[in-house]
Structure 1
Amino acid sequence: MEIMIKNKQALLRVLVVVLIFSVMNAFLFNVALPFIQKEFSLSSADISWVVSAYMMIYAVGTVIYGKLADIYSLNRLLQIGLIILALGSLIGLFAVNYQMVIVSRMLQAAGAAVIPTVAMIAPARFFPKEERGKAIGTLAIGMALGTALGPIISGVVAEVGNWRLLFALSFIPLLTLPFLTKYLPVKIDKNASKAIDYIGATLLTVTIAFLVLTITNFNITFAIIFLVLFVLFIIRINTYHTPFVLPSLFQNKSFSFTLVITFLTASLLFALTFVTPLLLDKMHHLSPVFIGIVLFPSAVIAALLGKKGGALADKYGNSFVFYLSIFFLGLCYFLLSLFVSTNPIWIAIILILGNIGATFIRVALTNTISLTLPKESVGVGMGFFTMFNFIAGAVATSLIGTLLEANFITSFKVYPFIQSIVELRFSHVFLILAIIACVITTVYIFVKKHYLVR
């Protein structure tokens, strides 16, 4: 049966708040890694697990919570997730050794993963199609603000305080629990199956974990294990009577090919948040605080325009918003490739195009994917959508990190006025990203024409 909400706009405002902290938490500790490494005398391999452990649990959690959302109420799932997030943060706040930091980050990820999953499911479940774009646009405000505030807060704490204080920020979402209880319905669909395929869920969990390990470590052993587990998972969902994921979900061509578009596009979005801070650090020698200041205006403007992106999707369609967004992203990368050495003020202005594009494109793809899903698979389908975004981020950061170190990237010149090696590296990476934006546009046109992506 259809679930009704007393106050949809109030629910969106609460979800925006928790999304801000979820997005911030994913990036906060990147700045703190050198401080943690120095305090506990860790190797580079050891410190990488502060990020890798979080990524694995978070990626797995989005799909697990998505599946549970098809069975249990979003209200209960969010409550449990926020409590787990707070518990992990408490351990991290008083961490006295490296092991406590890892356990803390894993628990944080296990709790935080519920937030984007529920935020993606809520518009698909509670809003009619003609209002869904605007609802998703409102939620995009939380993602944009989280992106804007994260670098500034982490930079300030890294420079003037103790890195453990970053954990304290994750207690704030607990304040939203009374409002979530008030605005999110507790009732669930009585016809929903309560059966859970625990073996299938376990296979999916370890498969995703080894996929993330393969991406972040470039390890052939992990890759082989991933492939074996993936085959076992496919066999399981095609032979078990009530599988964790219905095979028909991926037989839905609109859904599957939209996931492909999502993966490619998300790589572009994560690249923007990964490469730009490196540019401002390596070329312009800005401190973490000033890097955050450069990134802040564009993210805030994108947040303010989030609703506008949703309204455009409702009025003109998701494809219109997608084309507009990918144009902004491609133009942003092209301009950055030209002006890598320009004053950071101009970089901040160019980033407005990229961040608006990133915000709008999330609206278009979230709305598109929601329209491809049958009612009984909305939760797990949106969980996979969120997971693909996250894994795309891992792929993008790993590949770009490799590109920036590769010798071939400086073996040629596109712009004769760019001279230094550092300039060449960043300019060529930005130009490659602009070309990828064109390729994604071509793929989207093909998929839209042949597989009915709306």
Structure 2
Amino acid sequence: MDVAIQLTQDKKEKLIVVLSFTLIFSSMNATMFNVALPAISTEFSLHASQASWIITSYMIVYAIGAVIYGRLADQFKLKDLLTIGLVFFAVGSIIGFFSANYWSIVIGRALQAMGAAVLPASSMIIPTRYFNAETRGRALGMTSAGLAFGVAIGPIVAGFLTTWLHWKYLFAISLFTIAAIPFYRKYLDDVAGTSSKIDFLGAFLLALTIAVLLFAISTASLIYLLAGITCLALFVIRIKSVKNPFIQPALFRNSDYSMALFIYALGAGIGFALPYLTPLVLIELNHLTAFQTGLYMFPGALSAALLAKTGGKIADSRGNSGLTFLAISCFFICFCSLALMAGAPAYFITCFLIFGYVGQTFFQLAMANTISQTLPRNQTGVGMGLFMLVNFVASSTATAIMGTAISKNNATVYFKSLFFQFESVKYSNIYSVLAIMAVVIALIYSIALRKKLKEAKSCIST
């Protein structure tokens, strides 16, 4: 299950640098428009529900694309998929930059997502496909550093461009990624997967399932949830009934892969509290502006970017389990501290966020490395694509749950922070639950790890 395609060491190193460069702009693009929404809403007189589609359309297409590109990477040349994806990304950026109305913005964002979706899939596929188990952690560390750095500077760049120039320049900055195409075509090989007929109906049912379920989560609609479950059932029937399904059912029968995916979903869900809850806390309790909020969040995300490569080395030298427990410990420290100190001066929050962002990056890195080792060569693309899909679904679900908890705020048992304010209670409660969830994840992971070790010992004894 762990056979790496041979490239020269020089090509591998340059390939990871180019990939990290493009991932910076991809992750920036995913976060920058949150800052620009008020300016866009004012310019086009949009309601909150209309403005949200600038974000929602990107998220839905991005999530669908990550799986589809992952599946196509098992069959077609990765260099060709990256070329197509980055061209779509550039076209969407141009349309968005010259947009004159609301719908042209939405179309531009959707096209951006259609192209950018090739990058999260590639960030998992390239380290898995071209690096062996002994060096894969370092490669994943580099790609994680690119993602984390983009997240770190995205809100600051967006605040600067929106304030001093115009929000349309958020589209223009994404055009830099087109420069990476010649390098991908130079450093990637011409190896393609096994040629087979593509199950377009299966792909459509999967895309429809993802879109409807994400929409159900974002709108808290029972009708859409039932529709999504129906689409999922049709998709399952489809992949079980055709000779060459879009996703092989055997992938889900891989117990190691499925368990790792489940654990990652839990960790991704609690990790999304950092970019979602922190701006609310700093704006509502500390009365900061959006730009100031980005500055206070920057050190945490930057620390994660700087330490990501170190996390990869830990995974390579001490194993994925050591890095996973370290990540969960960082989560626990962060959420316990925030539960105790919600409403504290912003520089305290900044210090606690360092633990959280580092934990989030280490957890994703460790689980990506773990999952990559459970996949056979012909399922690497779709397997890692589903890994990225789980991130989106878990994040959307966590957002809906936390948003409901904040809006209702009717808990009968509550946790008071040391800097007690009436408004801080709801945040302290949520952070307390997140700390408990970190402990639960650690327990589940320990049980799964112990079971795997027992199975390994029994195989050796027989």
Give your verdict on TM over 0.5. yes
The structural deviation recorded for 1:239 is 0.7
Partner of 1:170: 174
Q: How does 1:333-372 map to 2 (within 5 A)?
A: 333-372=335-374
Q: Does 1:130 align with 2:134?
A: yes
The structural deviation recorded for 1:159 is 2.5
The structural deviation recorded for 1:326 is 0.5
Partner of 1:63: 67
Instruction: For 1:431, give the aligned amino acid.
Output: S
Matched-pair identity in %: 41
RMSD: 1.6
Matched-pair contact (CA < 8 Å) for 1:156–1:288: no
Matched-pair contact (CA < 8 Å) for 1:302–1:356: yes
The structural deviation recorded for 1:45 is 2.0
The structural deviation recorded for 1:417 is 4.3
Give 3-state SS (helix, strand or coil) of 1:42's partner. coil
Give 3-state SS (helix, strand or coil) of 1:4's partner. coil
Partner of 2:387: 385
Q: How does 1:193-208 map to 2 (within 5 A)?
A: 193-208=195-210
Bigger shift: residues 127-136 or 294-303: 294-303
Q: Following the alignment from structure 1 to structure 2, what is the Cα–Cα distance between the partners of residues 328 and 340?
A: 18
Q: Does 1:88 align with 2:92?
A: yes
Residues 311-332 of structure 1 show CA distances to partners (whole Å, capped at 9, x for unaligned) of 1111111011000100011110
Q: Following the alignment from structure 1 to structure 2, what is the Cα–Cα distance between the partners of residues 314 and 293?
A: 33
Matched-pair contact (CA < 8 Å) for 1:257–1:451: no
Partner of 1:312: 314
Partner of 2:285: 283
Partner of 1:76: 80
Q: Following the alignment from structure 1 to structure 2, what is the Cα–Cα distance between the partners of residues 123 and 61?
A: 19
Bigger shift: residues 31-40 or 52-61: 31-40
The structural deviation recorded for 1:416 is 6.9
Instruction: For 1:267, give the aligned amino acid.
Output: G
- C-alpha distance 265-99 of structure 1, shift in aligned 2 (>3 A): same
Instruction: For 2:186, give the aligned amino acid.
Output: K
Q: Following the alignment from structure 2 to structure 1, what is the Cα–Cα distance between the partners of residues 284 and 389?
A: 31
- C-alpha distance 326-416 of structure 1, shift in aligned 2 (>3 A): closer
Partner of 2:298: 296
Bigger shift: residues 285-294 or 95-104: 285-294
Counterpart of 2:272 (choices 270, 273, 298) is 270
Q: Following the alignment from structure 1 to structure 2, what is the Cα–Cα distance between the partners of residues 206 and 417?
A: 47
Q: Following the alignment from structure 1 to structure 2, what is the Cα–Cα distance between the partners of residues 310 and 97?
A: 44
Q: Following the alignment from structure 1 to structure 2, what is the Cα–Cα distance between the partners of residues 426 and 142?
A: 30
Q: Following the alignment from structure 1 to structure 2, what is the Cα–Cα distance between the partners of residues 415 and 208?
A: 38
Residues 42-63 of structure 1 show CA distances to partners (whole Å, capped at 9, x for unaligned) of 2222222111111111110000
Matched-pair contact (CA < 8 Å) for 2:58–2:110: yes
Give 3-state SS (helix, strand or coil) of 1:242's partner. coil
Q: Following the alignment from structure 2 to structure 1, what is the Cα–Cα distance between the partners of residues 100 and 58?
A: 19
Matched-pair contact (CA < 8 Å) for 2:145–2:306: yes
Partner of 2:459: none
Matched-pair contact (CA < 8 Å) for 2:341–2:418: no
Counterpart of 2:212 (choices 210, 213, 221) is 210
The structural deviation recorded for 1:2 is 6.2
Give 3-state SS (helix, strand or coil) of 1:408's partner. coil
- C-alpha distance 242-290 of structure 1, shift in aligned 2 (>3 A): same
Q: How does 1:207-286 map to 2 (within 5 A)?
A: 207-286=209-288
- C-alpha distance 162-36 of structure 1, shift in aligned 2 (>3 A): same
The structural deviation recorded for 1:193 is 2.8
Partner of 2:440: 439
Matched-pair contact (CA < 8 Å) for 2:409–2:426: no
Give 3-state SS (helix, strand or coil) of 1:188's partner. coil
The structural deviation recorded for 1:293 is 1.3
Partner of 1:20: 24
The structural deviation recorded for 1:375 is 0.7
Q: Following the alignment from structure 1 to structure 2, what is the Cα–Cα distance between the partners of residues 342 and 316?
A: 37
Partner of 2:150: 146
Partner of 2:183: 179
Residues 314-372 of structure 1 show CA distances to partners (whole Å, capped at 9, x for unaligned) of 11110110001000111101101111222211211111111111111111000000011
Matched-pair contact (CA < 8 Å) for 2:340–2:428: yes
Partner of 2:427: 426
Structure 2, unmatched stretches of 5+, are: 457-462
Residues 142-195 of structure 1 show CA distances to partners (whole Å, capped at 9, x for unaligned) of 011011001111122232332111111210111111211221112324xx1332
Q: Following the alignment from structure 2 to structure 1, what is the Cα–Cα distance between the partners of residues 154 and 263?
A: 27
Instruction: For 1:174, give the aligned amino acid.
Output: I
TM-score, length-scaled by structure 2: 0.94
Structure 1, unmatched stretches of 5+, are: none
Bigger shift: residues 279-288 or 359-368: 279-288
Q: Following the alignment from structure 2 to structure 1, what is the Cα–Cα distance between the partners of residues 393 and 94?
A: 27
Instruction: For 2:173, give the aligned amino acid.
Output: L
Matched-pair contact (CA < 8 Å) for 2:4–2:128: no
Q: Following the alignment from structure 2 to structure 1, what is the Cα–Cα distance between the partners of residues 429 and 82?
A: 43
The structural deviation recorded for 1:451 is 5.4
Instruction: For 1:419, give the aligned amino acid.
Output: F
Q: Following the alignment from structure 1 to structure 2, what is the Cα–Cα distance between the partners of residues 4 and 339?
A: 51
Q: Following the alignment from structure 1 to structure 2, what is the Cα–Cα distance between the partners of residues 18 and 400?
A: 31
Matched-pair contact (CA < 8 Å) for 2:339–2:417: no
Instruction: For 1:58, give the aligned amino acid.
Output: Y
TM-score, length-scaled by structure 1: 0.96
Runs of at least 4 residues of structure 1 off by over 6 A? none
Q: Following the alignment from structure 1 to structure 2, what is the Cα–Cα distance between the partners of residues 392 and 446?
A: 22
Residues 116-139 of structure 1 show CA distances to partners (whole Å, capped at 9, x for unaligned) of 101100111000111111111111
